Structure 1
Amino acid sequence: MGASSSTQQNVSSEQKQLENLAASTGALPTLQSAFSQLADPLTNAIPIHSLQQCFSLNYKNLIWEAPVKADSFPGLLDHVGSAIVDLFFVPEKGRLSWVEFVRGYVKCCGRMPSSMLLNTLLRVFAATVTRAGLTLNLEFESNDADCKISGSLLPVHVLMILMTCWTLSWDARTLSISKGNADICLPDVNELVLSAVVSCTEVGSDLDVWDCNILDLKAQLPAMKFLSWALTTVPTLADCFTCFVHARLQKCVTSEDVSGPPTLSPGEIPSTTAHDTYLLSRGRAWAISLTFRNPLSEEILKIYCPNESDRPEENLLYRSSLHGRGLNRFWSNIEGYHGPLLMLVSANSGDGHEGDTSVRKWIIGAFTQLGFENKDVFYGSSGTLYAISPVFHAFSASGKEKNFVYSHLHPTGRVYEPHPKAVGIAFGGTIGNERIFIDEDFAKITIRHHATDKTYQPGSLIPHQGFLPADALISGVEVWGLGGKTARQIQTSYKKREELFTDQRRKVDMKTFASWDDSPEKMMMDMISNPNSVRREDR
């Protein structure tokens, strides 16, 4: 037995409509196979406990990368599966029929606007919190996906929402990993939480974003403002939930036990301490991935999610502490890479003297679609600027101008330039008035107010940014390639070709200069000694 097909006779119009909606997502074959695996052959219906077991999360060993931990979060995960089933897969007779099964999938994972998907995500979180015995001030007007939500969230609730989404994303990507010790690494997402707090509340200047414990913050984030923040800052956050549901149902097709979490052997979990050495930490990579659509989102997640054999070093093209500072060292590592690139810059604002409490560390980033070119003008077709630490924000293209990237090296030839162009790397603005400018020594970075830039959306790249240009000392630079193995292979071929040309130029044909009489030096000396002498050209 299995799922009924709409091609059979006496099929209701509701079933046909639901199957068409499921087919539009590409999940209908998976649903049919999963129903056949989960359904009781005698009743041709799914027992509720079987579906709850399919969606249950039983992670016990949680590895927190952040110093701030939500103690109630492990217990929260135990109720995610039951919350999903109770909200969407509602049976009429104690068991789930095929129509009810498809209806539940369409309700939680059907094709709908991002705002409705985020509503669905909040409903799942609210139901999970209630089952865990915790308090939450959220009220839903109805059971519809587009219903109005009232109430507010605390920063700790935002932290747990983000951690839940990360867990669902991790689970969906690691279901096929071999068995071993059940561990899950929870990234540091404090920068994302602070982004929501700053965007959704009236925070005063007394909030120190560099030294702030988000668990102690009592700011109330209105639900509708939180949804607006999520839509603009992390628009694909709700995809973590839909991917999890689809991955768990897909796992049912293999007839394997999915009651427990996917488990990894110790060697398959990337080292937490190793990630902390990079500017692009696990949490920052995930935050940036939430601003992308596939395949870029998948490419950046490969760096830290063990679904692939790739390691972080394979995507790292340049690192100032490893390859050396300066534009020339930078260029020798990224030249020939014609794919998406993510550049991160860490800097210190202040005098930098020992004991100076005014020194603040921050990180910004820039994404470019087609790599860097040596030009004395702005170029590019798309890009995004990021305020990464201590508060995360994304500034995509505004569509008004196309001054995305400027990367200019010293000219190779000694050509006189009456008005030489600045040597360095810049993003946005105009030449001489760039929104971000990095000097050729990678020693200083200048950040200007967004009013000088019409290429990227407005907003502060660093906290408390004023109207005057802000100069800071660069402490580190990283460039990550997001073009996959193909872009890296093309760059490798390019470098080999350039090395071959260089070797050929270095070689000197000694036969040409074997005779003094045939040398250019003797010809020049003869012309100087007697310039009026008649010389016959050898034919």
Structure 2
Amino acid sequence: MGASTSAELRVSAEQKEAENVAASTGALPMLQKAFSKLANPETNTVPLENLQQCFSFAREGRSYSGNNVPDSFPVLLDHLGSSLVDQFFVPDKGGINWVEFVNGYNKCCARVSASISLNMLVRVFVAVSGKANVALNLEFESEHTDCKINGYFLSSDVFLLLSVCWVMSWGSRNLKGEGNLGLPDLNHLALSAITSCAQVEGGFNVWDCDITSLEVQLPAMKFVTWVMTTVPCLSDCLRQYFHARLQMAVTTGDELTSSNSSSVGDISLTAACDYIFTQGRAWAISITQKSTVNEEISRVFIRNGDGMDDNLIYRSSTHGRGLNRFWSHVEGYKGPLLILVAASSGDGHEGNSYNRKWVIGALTDQGFENKDVFYGNSGCLYSISPVFHVFPPTGKEKNFVYSHLHPTGRVYQSHPKPVGVAFGGTLGNERIFIDEDFAKMTVRHHAIDKTYKSGSLLPDQGFLPVEALISEVEVWGLGGKDAKNVQNSYKKREELFTEQRRKIDLKTFANWEDSPEKMMMDMISDPNAVRREER
């Protein structure tokens, strides 16, 4: 009797602690609904098969195509659900009871440090790879979630890990389970990890290389460091996917078919997009930001790019080149903006005219202003293609953005300020400078810039300034609907003022007797005439 009472008190305390942790994340009501739908009413436990199907991403009959899809990738996705269940849940004989169900959620989704979250992601990837018979060279020193990871990644392993993370990010944003999933180009992210973590003998051409065939070893701890410094939000995809699949079981009402319906369509190489801002590049930028920018990019671009045109503020090939055209579209937008520039420069090292194409970008936390000095409170520079790197602010200076138009009117200036758009550096020595015609841009060495983190924006940049020909400029608004509505109101107000200045009051204009011109003519014709002032 006493033993059973003690056991009941112990279980009750464990249940209370688990529920308190889940309540702190705001997920307890959702977990209660999910458990009631997934559990067997007779045993009041969740069968393993139900939970595995809830987290599964596999669907029979799906085809995989595209040069960017590794052969082992579909097999990995087939074992994703079972690996998540094995990693986070401890089943009883009849299944998973309520306490273990909540504890499993807390293990994955409770608030933990970034290093622990990344450790859990790597453990899941190792478990999935083991079930898919994909050999990895990774070992964990202990069962603790914050232990050291020994071994190394191959370049193909990095690409597979990034691809699985993309799938989980995509799956967490499609709760209705509709739409096709396309695997975007993630080479720029994989090359970033390879160039940051490994030494390639003799080097390799980042513009033309097959990542899966590179026999390069990336030490595990160097890879962890790269994730923490370059893409710190990468591990969030596991927590988001875990939470979204349970939420999907609640909203669909059919836990056994939710995973099947969530993957309608084929996994293939995403269709070529005319925009510079592709899904792969959008996702890479989103996992570098722990802010509302992350949510806005994910909402718009990860979910099949729905509504992309609503966020496009300016595009040089559509709206016209030049600073004036650019300004007419960005003026009045007060939210975060992302400007992307695609350009090409000659290969001076080899002494030929071969043009290498690359993409760089800048993220601002506010809209553009017409000033003859630098301004801004925060921002980031990005090297996007062919290798992805992020350059956050250093905190030493605040020369984030410079945007200056020609002054109105003919005003003499002994020292005219540069006309164009720039990021970082100082006036005359900007780290990135785009001329007023949007035809050329100059990229300088990071030594002249104390605003953004040091590093090369281009592969093999060197110390001399690089002048390039611009092929496309895009500006994307990431401030949501509120920022867009504010800009629309601003434009309507400016149009109203312009229309008012154009209008002429014909009635007053035609009344010669009351016009000041008649008064002046009368005074000139007879200045001595006595005139009575009308009161």
TM-score (norm 2): 0.90
Following TM superposition, by how much is the alpha carbon of 1:518 offset from its aligned partner in structure 2, in angstroms?
Answer: 7.9
> Residues 199 and 10 from structure 1, CA distance in 2 versus in 1: closer, same or farther, beyond 3 angstroms?
closer
What fraction of aligned residue pairs are identical, expressed as a percent?
Answer: 60
Q: Give the whole-Å Cα distance in 1 for the aligned partners of 2:504 and 2:84.
A: 74
Kindly indicate whether the alpha-carbon contact (under 8 Å) linking 1:63 and 1:184 is maintained by their aligned counterparts in 2: no
1:263 shift after superposition: 4.3
Which residue of 2 is the match for residue 304 of structure 1? 301
2:313 corresponds, among 298, 310, 317, to 317
Residue identity matched to 2:18: L
- Paired position in structure 1 for 2:88: 88
Verify the 8 A CA contact 2:69 2:183 in the aligned structure 1: no
Higher mean Cα deviation, 32-41 or 226-235? 32-41
1:228, CA displacement in angstroms?
0.9
Looking at structure 2, the residues matched to 304 and 98 of structure 1 have their Cα atoms a distance apart, in angstroms, of 36
* Correspondence 1:479 to 2:475: yes
User: Over residues 204-254 of structure 1, what are the superposed CA-to-partner deviations in whole Å (9 max), with x where a residue is unaligned?
Assistant: 563110011101111101111111111111111111111111111112224
Q: C-alpha distance in 2, partners of 1:72/1:150?
A: 23
After superposition, residues 122-201 of structure 1 pair within 5 angstroms as 122-178=122-178, 183-201=180-198
Distance 2:331 2:345 in 1: 30
- In 2, are the aligned partners of 1:375 and 1:406 still within 8 Å (CA)? yes
Find the counterpart in structure 1 of residue 100 from structure 2: 100
1:369 aligns with 2:365: yes
Code of the residue aligned with 1:458 in structure 2: it is S
Structure 1 residue 145 displacement after superposition: 1.2
CA deviation map 1:376-415 (0-9, x unaligned) = 1111111111000000011111111111100000111222
Residue 293 of structure 1, CA deviation: 2.4
Partner of 2:54: 54
Instruction: Assess if the C-alpha contact under 8 Å between 1:61 and 1:184 holds in 2.
Output: no
Q: What residue number does 1:78 align with? A: 78
Question: Which SS does the other structure have where 1:221 is aligned?
Answer: strand
2:224 maps to 1:227? yes
Amino acid in the other structure paired with 2:275: Y
Contact preservation (8 Å) 1:88, 1:108:
yes
Residue 440 of structure 2 is aligned to residue 448 of structure 1:
no
Gaps of 5+ in 1: 1-7
**Equivalent residue in structure 2 for 1:437, among 433, 437, 444:** 433
- Which amino acid in 2 is paired with 1:183? N
Shift in alpha-carbon separation, 1:327–1:143, aligned structure 2, 3 A: same
Paired residue for 2:286? 289
CA distance 1:11–1:130, change in 2 (3 Å)? closer
Partner of 1:116: 116
Match of 2:415 among 414, 419, 424: 419
- Residues of 1 paired with 2:505 and 2:401: CA distance? 42
Deviation sequence 1:118-171 (CA, Å, 0-9, x none): 110000000000000111101011222111110111111111111111111111
* CA-CA distance at 1:115 after TM superposition: 1.0
The answer to whether the 8 A contact 1:68-1:213 is kept is: no
In structure 2, relative to structure 1, the CA distance for the partners of 1:261 and 1:152 (3 Å cut) is: farther
Change (3 A) 1:128 1:250: same
Structure 2 CA distance for aligned equivalents of residues 222 and 121 of structure 1: 17
Residue 210 (structure 1) aligns with: 207
Report what 2:375 is aligned to.
Answer: 379
Q: Which blocks of at least 5 consecutive residues in structure 2 are unaligned?
A: 1-7
- Provide the secondary structure at the position in 2 that maps to 1:183: coil
Q: Contact 2:314–2:476 (CA<8 Å) still a contact in 1?
A: yes
- Is the CA contact (8 Å cut-off) linking 1:174 and 1:307 kept in structure 2? no
**Could you tell me whether the CA contact under 8 Å between 2:83 and 2:128 is conserved in 1?**
yes
Among 386, 390, 408, the residue aligned to 2:386: 390
Q: Is this contact kept in 2: 1:335–1:491, CA < 8 A? A: yes
Contact map agreement 2:334 2:487 (CA 8 A) in 1: yes
Q: 1:20 to 1:148 in 2, by over 3 A?
A: same
Partner of 1:330, secondary structure, is helix
> Which residue in the other structure is 1:239 paired with?
236
Aligned mates of 1:171, 1:434 — CA distance in 2: 41
Structure 2: distance between partners of 1:16 and 1:89: 18
The AA in structure 2 aligned to 1:438 is: I
Q: CA deviation at 1:455?
A: 1.0
Structure 2 vs 1, CA of residues 517 and 265 (structure 1 numbering), >3 Å: closer, same or farther? farther
Q: Write out aligned runs for 1:271-286 (5 A).
A: 272-273=270-271, 276-286=273-283
| TM-superposed deviation, 1:51 | 1.3
SS of residue matched to 2:362:
strand
Q: Following TM superposition, by how much is the alpha carbon of 1:315 offset from its aligned partner in structure 2, in angstroms?
A: 0.8
Which among 342, 346, 357 is matched to residue 350 of structure 1? Answer: 346
Task: State the distance in 1 between where 2:23 and 2:511 align.
Answer: 81
Letter in 2 for 1:317: I
Q: Give 2:248's match in structure 1, choosing from 248, 251, 256.
A: 251
**Secondary structure of the residue that 1:83 maps to in structure 2?**
helix
Q: Residue 3 of structure 1 aligns with which residue? A: none
Contact 1:369–1:382 under 8 Å retained in 2:
yes
Question: Is the contact between residue 270 and residue 306 of structure 1 (CA under 8 Å) also seen in structure 2?
Answer: no
1:25 and 2:25 matched: yes
Change (3 A) 1:221 1:534: farther
Change (3 A) 1:508 1:88: same
Question: Equivalents in 2 of 1:519, 1:536: separation in Å?
Answer: 19
Q: Which amino acid aligns with 1:470?
A: V
Q: For residues 58 and 222 of structure 1, do their structure 2 counterparts lie closer, same or farther at Cα, with a shift above 3 Å needed?
A: same
Matched to 1:471, the amino acid is E
Q: Which amino acid aligns with 2:57?
A: L
C-alpha root-mean-square deviation of aligned residues, in Å? 2.9
SS across alignment from 2:461? coil
How far did 1:261 drift? 4.5
Q: Is the 8 A contact 2:422 2:433 kept in 1?
A: yes
Code of the residue aligned with 1:71 in structure 2: it is D
The residue identity in structure 2 corresponding to 1:248 is R
Structure 1 residue 322 displacement after superposition: 0.5
Aligned partner letter, 2:364: T
Correspondence for 2:460: 464
TM-fit CA distance, 1:369: 0.9
Question: Match of 2:38?
Answer: 38
Between 198-207 and 157-166, report the one with greater CA deviation.
198-207
Q: Report if aligned partners of 2:183, 2:269 keep a CA contact under 8 Å in 1.
A: no
What per-residue deviation string (whole Å, max 9, x for no partner) do you get for residues 252-302 of structure 1? 224323241414589xx99944x5211001100111111122432121123
Q: Helix, strand or coil: the match of 1:96?
A: coil
- Deviation at residue 106 of structure 1 after TM alignment: 1.8
2:181 is paired with a residue whose SS is strand
